Structure 1
Amino acid sequence: MGAVHNEAKTAHLLSFARQKNLIQEWKSEGVYPYSAGPVEPAQAVEREMFDEVATRIARRLPGVSQSKKTTLRLLR
């Protein structure tokens, strides 16, 4: 059971790293829709949810015809 737990943990960490890299790429490109950090806890939760959904969509639909900026603004 320990090996399965370690594999799941490793997969989760890799997914988190990919998410973080993708968000950083969006920030560098100027398409990430949030410019300032969250001020209130509710804003932090909103941002976490946005990041999760947006990165999942980006991984599933890498060749979408809309611009990244438009897609991310619509998700927000």
Structure 2
Amino acid sequence: MTDTLPGSQTRLLDHHNWIRLNPDDKVIVKRAGFPPEHGTVNDIAVDASYFWVRIDGQSRILIFHGDGTIIHKILT
């Protein structure tokens, strides 16, 4: 994947693996109609069925299972 930070790798997370996300994790969000967006996990539900991401330079967005969003966690 080429749209990451220099020296970084990513891991694709399906909704079953969202439980592995934590506040302040860096992610790449891929939504229909938008270019890939870098952001930071802001808050996550206890059961990880949904979470908030603060998109860099923008407001935060809600991600939930079934919305079609693809999440890549940035590994550093």
Range into which the TM-score falls when normalised by the shorter chain: under 0.3
Structure having the larger proportion of residues in strand: 2
Structure having the larger proportion of residues in helix: 1
TM-score (norm 2): 0.28
TM-score (norm 1): 0.28
